[in-house]
Structures are given as C-alpha cells and as structure tokens.
Amino acid sequence: MVIFRFLVTFLISAVIALLTSFTLKAQTDFALESGNKFTATLLSEYGQISNFLNQGNDEESTGYIKIAPSIFIQTQVSRHLIQMAAKVSHYQFSQFSEDDHNDLLFQPRYFFKLDDNKTLFADIKLQESYEYRGTALSLGEAESLTSGDDKKTVAANIGYLYGQIDSVARLKLSIGQQDFRYKTRRAENKALDRVDQSVLASVDYLLSGKTYFAVDLAYTQSDFQYNRPLNKDVYAVLVGMKWQSTAITQLQALIGYQRLTFEETLFASDTRFKWRIDINWQPIRFIKMNINTERNYETTNRIADSYRIVDSTNLQITHQLTDYFQTSALVGYRQEEIVYLDKTASEEYLYSEIKLNYQRNDWLTIFAGFTFKELTASNDRLNNQGNSLSLGFSVVL
C-alpha cells in the first residue's frame, strides 16, 4: 500500500507540472458526441456447439438459444455528460440445461468538462459472467462438475484528461480499483478472490504532422485475501509512436519493460520484454483491416498457485460486399506460459470466426456465423477443439 500511495502522489504531481507546460487545441481525446442519446438493441441467436465440454475425446454437442437485450442512454446538462450502458445475455442449452445462465454488464460513466481541454471522468462497472466447464479452473476436468462457475467483477475508476484529439500534447491519468470473486464453489474458489488497485498514465507529444511520441506507465497491486502468497505488484513502461493519417488509418507501436514482484518469496520476481501494436488500415474503400498484438502478465486462473505470461495476436478483416451485405473474418492466437511453483507449462489457443451480415434496413440486421477454436497444450490431456454454427438477428430502436 505504501508503494501504491507513493505512485499516486507522484503521478498527481507530474500532472500538475505537465499542466503548466502543454499548449493544446480543441475536441477531447474521448471523441465524445455531445447531446442526448437513447439506443435499445435486442439480439436473438440460435446455434449448435460441437464440443460443449471442451474435451479431447467423447465430444458432446448441444443446441443453444441466446437472447441479449441492451440499452445505452446519454444525457448532457451544460458541462456534465452522463452515460449508462446495460446488457443482459440469456443462454439456454438443449442438452445441458444445468449450464443455462445469464451474463450481466452494467456500466455508468460521468464526464465533467472543466474547460475546452480539461475533463474529469469517472466510471463504474458491474459484471457477472459464466465460466464454461472445461475452461480455466475446470480445464481438462469438465466432467467433475455439474455446471460451470459464476464470476463477479466490480470496478471503479476516476481520471483526468488534459488535451484534445489534435493537440500538440495530451495526457491521461486514471486511478482505479477492481474486485473479483467466484460466486460458486466458494470453499476452494475463494483462494482466487482479489482486489486490484491500479494507476495508469499516458502522455502523447506531437513530433510532426500526425506522428506522436508516446509513453504509457502502469502499476497494479493485487491483494489476494485468502491466498496472500499470491499478492503481487506489476510495473510496466511502454515507449513508442502513434500515427494517424486519417480517421481510418491508424498505427500504435510501443515497446518496453514489465516487472512482476511478489509480497512473499513463493515466486521469484520476473522481468519481461513488453509490447503493444495496433494497426487500423483501409487499403480500399470496401475493406477494413485491424491487427493487434501485445504481451501482458495475467493473474492465475487455476487453483494451483501460478501466474501467466500471455502473448496475444488478432487479425480482423471486414469486407462490405454491397450496401446490404457485409462479411468479416477474425483469427486470434493466444500463447500462455504458465509458471507454477515447481514447473512451467504452455497453452496455445487458436480462435477463428467467419460472419455474414445482411442489413435489411436501419433497424434490422440478420447474421450467420461459424467459429472454430483449438487448444494445444504441453499437457496432451488438455488438448481439444470445437466449432459452432449460429443464425440470428438484431433489432435497433
């Protein structure tokens, strides 16, 4: 906690110093649209899953129905802007009714504009989600459970933004806390309950034209109430360039350093090379492409004491065939190095999706999709793959 308070004090002091030296222009970095808005969406989807329990052998399939209403409200009063987003996703499975569940997301946000280039913001997130059997805690052990695990996350952040989208310099600072816990199988799963406190700061400075020099700083302190040997601190520094020639052609490329230390000597400290690259590109009018890749430390998702080094890469291509038809393809690859007390394991996840959208009009979209996923692990017993087909529609009010 002493380190956390020190970093908060240091970063606030840095903000005050930077505020006196930066010369900036119009529009906020959030690119928020002012005014009052209301959007309600209803999504309905039917599909078939080939390997519901994520097993290497004796695969079992099931049909499913998903119904997901969502709402977004924005209201503005003078310099105050309030947003509220909420979504409920209901899933039913024909062969595994014990896995029927609801996912919930509720996220209000508040912005207060001090003047043209100074904004305060705050947000809260409440999320309840479902962890399917044969994944994470129950990887390779799906048949030992009668249903999956319920998870709950509550997070809050406050921050300060100084600058605008086209400013010579921009600064963003945020301080937050996130509480995570499993709601099911508490006797064993409570070992993973944790509270994360974080400080994030990013500075962009215009070098020439549309090219910015960028520095991102991050610090996270994790406190495991029932498993104190896992208490840890993560530090990260990224330095690089951000370039935006147009609204549809953007590049971020940052490299740096990250360090993981533990409160106790259960694990040795770890230092790694870190990167984050994000490219948005539209080579021709009807095709859009996004590529992103990054490396992060991630918290254990196993009962056994461990932590993870995760490298992830995603490629998405969207093709507008006509005014009504759109196709998209997504390929994701995730490599995890899992460090236990006495060994190291690896897991490689491959995910791909192809989707066809038919936008009948402004309020109705019909879609069909196919997904494929595969896990290849150093422990052959965990290897599995599966696919799914889906058909559905979404209505926007």
pLDDT score for 4:
43
Q: Rounded to 5 degrees, what angle do the CA atoms 90, 94, 100 make?
A: 35
Per-residue pLDDT, 30: 44
Task: Give the Cα separation of 112 and 120 in Å (integer).
Answer: 5
CA atoms of 116 and 27, how far apart (whole Å) = 7
Would you give per-residue pLDDT tens digits along the chain (397 residues)?
444 444 444 343 433 333 333 333 333 344 677 889 999 999 999 999 999 999 999 999 999 999 999 999 999 999 999 999 999 999 999 999 999 999 999 999 999 999 988 999 999 999 999 999 999 999 999 999 999 999 999 999 999 999 888 889 999 999 999 999 999 999 999 999 999 999 999 999 999 888 999 999 999 999 999 999 999 999 999 999 999 877 678 899 999 999 999 998 888 999 999 999 999 998 888 999 999 999 999 998 988 888 999 999 999 999 999 999 999 999 999 999 999 998 999 999 999 999 999 999 999 999 999 999 999 999 999 999 999 999 999 999 8
pLDDT at 102: 98
Q: Residues near 209 by Cβ (< 8 Å), separated by ≥ 6?
A: none
Per DSSP (E only), the strands in 285-361 are 287-299, 306-320, 325-340, 344-359
DSSP line for 48-86: EES-TT--SSS---EEEEEEEEEEEEEEEETTEEEEEEE
Distance CA(201)–CA(207), nearest Å, equals 19
Classify residue 33 by its DSSP letter.
Answer: P
pTM of structure: 0.89
Tell me how far apart the alpha carbons of residues 320 and 377 are, in angstroms, rounded to a whole number: 37
Domain boundaries of the chain, sorted by first residue: 1-36+72-171
Under a CB-based contact definition with an 8 Å cutoff, are residues 395 and 364 in contact?
Answer: yes
Q: Using CA atoms, how far apart are residues 200 and 166, in angstroms rounded to an integer?
A: 22
Q: Identify the pLDDT of residue 31.
A: 62
Q: Which residue in the block uniquely carries the two structure tokens 């394991």?
A: 345
